[in-house]
Amino acid sequence: MFGTLSPDLRALGCPQRRAWRRLYCGTCKGLHTYGTPARALTSYDAVLLAALIEGLAAEAGPQGSCRCPLNPLIFRPILDPSAVATQISAAVQILLADAWLSDRSEDGLAAIGWLRAALPSRDAAQTLRDLGIDPAPLVHITAAQLAAEAQPSEQITAAAEPTAEVLAHLLRSLPDLPGADPGLRTASARRSLAAMGSDLGLCIYLIDALEDLGEDALTGAFNPCLDPTSGRPAQARVDAAQRALDHATERLAEAVAAFPWRRNALLLSHVIGEQLPRAAAAASSAAAAASSAAAAAPQHAPPTPTATAPQRAPPARARPRWPSLALAWRRLQHLWRRSQSIVLRAIRPTPRDPGDPSRRHLPPTGGEQPGGGEQPGGGEQKKRRDRSCSGADCSGCCDCVPCRGPTDSSSLGDGCFDCGPAGSSCVDCSPCGCDGCDGCDGCDCG
């Protein structure tokens, strides 16, 4: 369960989007109770499990908020880690990670064994026991899966039974949880929940098998859609897997539409009724492409075994990449980029308004010399004033607007004769009474 059932947040309404993010951040915070590194195990499938449990509870779980580890400056609304849905989804994710590490350690990876020893799987199992759920199917899922894959079967769904049984067991136990709806404790409701969990597990397994068909054919890993003898994609088995997947998605859509959800109904209908069929169609297309490529490739007849020739051992199972490591790395990169932008915004100086009257001591402009004196090319030095405009603006002889005080009603003629004493003009800039407006170079008759 590492992200098969993911929503399209762009297609959700605002309430459903907020509900999904609250469940997602709540699951992440719930995993934090098992240690900070455990938060990297957050997946869409675990969030969907929390949405299922929360949707069937008699009362909504407690709400809260916490700092986001990717952006510690922001508080996110969450479903509190003390909620039953958060506790179960976090514990199930820890046990599934332990099963994955157990499978890898059996392949001879010693470092994986150290990681498994550091994983608090016992605490997660005890959490499920305290809530009334038997953790045995989750603990032994690896052994059950290996046993199912070791027995060849004509039924395409035989290898998916361990995954289907685990989810059926989890959903069958929901009526016994603290705060569960009493109406779910009937035999028919339990059967409906178990069937929904079984179909979910079947869909997750078959989607993964169809998506990885081409890669498994190259690496020799087990895949129910491969021919047991030649190890090549078998079209009949691929068609059977697609039919089983289509029937399971149809049953799930009908079950979600008919179930009496107390909350998250639209969210679950979107993920299970819309996104799951899209994922199934994409997986079927990938499997069809892999089958076509295998059919076009030249076939090599396997060597005939003799009495003395040793039998070829079955190929070892390929080790799938752990997507949580890549997810954690992307989250760290996102946190670094966000931190850089926040720090740059904090230390960037605020630009000053050019019209702010508090700006004084304007810098020299044009050919004016900072130390005084005339310009190198000759001409009269312009006066500099450190005052701001206090009621007189000069446009006729300065670079501002007409020289007139706030109470001056005299008319202005051509030039700037009102900027200085009576009878003065702009021929000589020295008598001009410009106040030295911001942006004005002094008296500039031009």
Q: Express each pLDDT in 19-54 by its tens digit.
A: 999 999 999 999 999 999 899 999 999 999 999 999
Average pLDDT by consecutive 10-residue portion of the chain (446 residues)?
Answer: 77 93 95 92 92 92 91 92 95 90 66 72 93 92 88 87 94 90 89 95 94 90 88 90 95 92 94 94 92 72 45 46 56 70 63 52 47 45 42 47 44 44 45 49 46
Q: What is the pLDDT of residue 62?
A: 93
How much is the pLDDT for 109? 58
What tokens appear for 310 in the block?
A: 């040793």
Q: Which helix (H) or strand (E) holds 64?
A: strand 63-67
Q: Write down the pLDDT at residue 85.
A: 95
Domain ranges of the chain: 9-295+324-334, 390-446
Model pLDDT, residue 425: 43
- Residue 146, classified by CB atoms within 10 Å of its CB into exposed (0-12), middle (13-18) or buried (19+), is middle
pLDDT at 229: 84
Q: Whole-angstrom Cα distance, residue 189 to residue 284?
A: 32
- For 277, phi then psi, to 5°, come to -60, -35
pLDDT score for 446: 41
Identify the CATH assignment for 9-295+324-334 out of 2.30.30, 3.30.460, 3.30.70, 1.10.600: 1.10.600
First to last CA, the chain: 79
Distance CA 342, CA 222 (A): 48
**How far is residue 400's CA from residue 382's CA, in Å, rounded to a whole number?**
15
Closest CA to 167 of 29, 24, 45, 8: 45
β-bridge partners, 63: 79
Q: Residue 439: its pLDDT value, please?
A: 45
Residues in the chain: 446
In this prediction, residue 179 carries a pLDDT of: 85
| Distance (Å, whole) CA 347 – CA 341 | 10
Instruction: Report helix, strand or coil for 254.
Output: helix
The pLDDT assigned to 306 comes to: 45
Torsion of CA 153, 156, 157, 163, to 10 degrees: 90
Report pLDDT for 120. Answer: 87
Closest CA to 201 of 193, 212, 189, 211: 193
Q: What SS3 state is found at 323?
A: helix
The span from the CA of 419 to the CA of 434, in Å, is 7
234-278 pLDDT per residue, tens:
899 999 999 999 999 999 999 999 888 999 999 999 999 999 999
What are the backbone dihedrals phi and psi of residue 399, each rounded to the nearest 5 degrees, phi first?
-95, 15
What is the pLDDT, as a whole number, of residue 149? 87
